Chains A and B, each alone.
Chain A
């Protein structure tokens, strides 16, 4: 049996279904991210695990115990909020020790644990400071230490990095992941930032309008999206309409240009079916191997420099595609208007729905 089990959980606010039949099993020590746009139900699901919302139906089991209707203060769950939620009237040490004092642990045990936590987050010199004397990143580290101090069974993180600037976000997410691995704590991380979810998680749950679209490892989610929504939400994507030409051999045509796909179920389609195809920009490359699959002619429409990546807009048939290539200052980029050959593997051509 899994450590945390969310079974058939539905949450309604009035007539609105915010989370619909959510099912997920999380193993001990696993780091799972809920990823989706605003209003997809990810935070509501997290709040149901925390006890701030009670499911309309379904059950939540933690370590074999049913916690569905338990009050938040009766679940041993640590929570980190986007807005830090440090108590302004308490110092860093008092904030970290709050949960332990509530549990009536001895003062010596509290002091020892607080010191341990302060060392863990590297804020030894700031233990006697108030939250207003700390930067955003430092405050969120204190929030992490406060949540971990009570030795929670699950750590819940509700968009904890959203209020921080880009550099701090990247370093803090690595720090959170390192601490989570070191302590072996089970964690659920809510975010709308796909890069954050991909970089930090063991598994990702992609959610849309209250439903789970796909659950998988970051590698699976990015490379093998099961729905158009997941493909579009995670990473950049080129979408185009195409027509099935040869189902048995995975051939389809877009504006008269033939592509080959490696989709498993493609042979079930019939010749002439209209489908939507998706290709990630980085799966295109300039054709150095003309004998490979999917080598097609294109016209360079535009080139945009994005730092580490150069985005080249190409025209294949009558459809515009984006093609991403790593920036290399010593390689000449093609001129705008030039005719080139580009290629992509048959595995890169995703068929995610009917047109």
Chain B
């Protein structure tokens, strides 16, 4: 299994180092970062990812919190809705969105920036399965109902409860959902391509068609970003799991 993963990765890395004839080096990486299209695509994807994470958290956290606290019977319905992006292929989704929003009265794809807003909204929908599950697992792990009631009995209002009790205890769950969303948005190709957006996904596809060594360098950079994201989740998660341990020394 490890070899199945490592051999192609090693081969890709080796190939990315052969940017200069007969010399192993980082020439392909230098060319990649020197490409005038790379950084704009990368930064656009970063901004899209951050906006997606923000909107997704804004929708999912209060929803999951309220479902856990007050409407547990609605959980299966919410879970089904959040799973829809897994069921509907991205290409179907993007064409449906284009059809719906490319004519009045919902003309939202007329300009590049308005299309970008639609793209971010679609990414928010794509992030639901990951974000909802992460947040929901986090909420289940902390007995949200009792903590909320304890805070209420001490005089706290909803804002205080959310920001001083619930969010700090959902740190790992929020980070995990956010980083998974980040990974999806950074590498997404289909929707961005059909929405004519200059993000990292279409840039990588274009690079593959026109260059030899840079696509491999790009793949390694993308892997590095994902690993860094996973490393952060793991690091923060270890701290939190220490918190969750219950000693029983009495």
A interface residues with partner B (beta carbon < 8 Å): 50-52, 71-73, 76-79, 81, 83, 85-89, 98-99, 102-103, 130, 132-138, 146-147, 150, 156, 164-165, 168
Given contacts A87-B169, A89-B168, A132-B244, A150 and B149 within 8 Å (CB-CB): no
A-B contact pairs, 17 of them (CB 8 A): A50-B149, A52-B152, A72-B149, A76-B155, A78-B154, A79-B150, A79-B153, A85-B143, A85-B149, A89-B165, A89-B171, A102-B156, A102-B160, A132-B246, A135-B250, A136-B250, A156-B153
**How far is B160's CA from A71's CA once the two chains are assembled, in angstroms?**
15
- Nearest-Cβ distance from residue B190 to partner chain A, whole angstroms: 40
> Which A residues are in CB contact (< 8 Å) with B157?
73
Task: A99 to B165: give the CA distance in the assembly, Å.
Answer: 12
A72-B152 in contact given A102-B160, A137-B250, A138-B250 (Cβ < 8 Å):
yes
Known interface pairs A73-B157, A99-B154. Does A132 touch B243 (Cβ–Cβ under 8 Å)?
yes
Is A147 a contact partner of B245 (Cβ separation < 8 A)? no
Check if B147 is an interface residue, CB within 8 A of chain A: yes
Q: Which of B142, B146, B171 has the most CB of A within 10 A?
A: B146
Q: Kindly state whether residue B73 has any CB partner on chain A within 8 Å.
A: no
Partner among B142, B147, B248 whose Cβ is within 8 Å of the Cβ of A136: B248
In the complex, the answer to whether B149 meets A52 with C-beta atoms within 8 Å is yes
Instruction: Assess whether B143 is in contact with A83, with CB atoms less than 8 Å apart.
Output: yes
Confirm or deny: B210 has a beta carbon within 8 angstroms of a beta carbon on chain A: no
Beyond known contacts A87-B151, A98-B154, A133-B247: 20 more, CB 8 A cutoff: A52-B152, A72-B149, A72-B153, A77-B153, A79-B149, A81-B146, A81-B149, A86-B150, A87-B165, A87-B169, A88-B244, A89-B168, A89-B169, A89-B243, A98-B164, A99-B154, A102-B154, A102-B155, A132-B244, A150-B155
Instruction: Write out the residue numbers on chain B whose beta carbons fall within 8 Å of the beta carbon of A102.
Output: 154-156, 160
Residue of chain A at shortest CB distance from B167 = A89
In the bound complex, residues from chain A placing their C-beta under 8 Å from that of B2 are none
| Count of interface residues, chain B, beta-carbon cutoff 8 Å | 28
Min Cβ gap B210→A in Å is 50
- Which chain B positions have C-beta within 8 A of A81? 146, 149-150
Partner of B243, one of A76, A130, A134: A130
Given contacts A81-B146, A85-B143, A147 and B247 within 8 Å (CB-CB):
no
- In this assembly, does B242 line the interface, its C-beta being within 8 Å of a C-beta of chain A? yes
Query: In the assembled complex, which residues on chain B have CB atoms less than 8 Å from the CB atom of A85?
Result: 143, 146-147, 149-150
Selected contact of B247 from candidates A83, A89, A98, A135, CB within 8 Å: A135
A147 to B142 CA separation, bound complex (whole angstroms): 20
Q: Are A88 and B243 also in contact (CB < 8 A) when A73-B152, A79-B149, A79-B153 are? A: yes
Q: Which of B104-155 contact A (CB under 8 A)?
A: 142-143, 146-147, 149-155
Residues of B within 8 A of A78 (CB): 153-154
Judged by a CB distance under 8 angstroms, whether B36 is at the interface is: no
Residues of B within 8 A of A146 (CB): 154
Q: How far is the CA of A102 from the CA of B150 in the complex (A)?
A: 13
Are A134 and B247 within 8 A (Cβ)? yes
Are B245 and A132 neighbours in the complex by a CB distance under 8 Å? yes
Q: Encode contact with A along B168-195: 1 for CB under 8 Å, 0 otherwise.
A: 1101000000000000000000000000
Instruction: Select which of B143, B155, B247, B249 is within 8 A of A99 by beta carbon.
Output: B155
Cβ of B156 and Cβ of A83 under 8 Å apart? no
B148 to chain A, nearest CB (A): 9
For B247, the chain A residues whose CB sits under 8 A away are: 132-135
Question: A136 CB to closest chain B CB, in angstroms?
Answer: 6
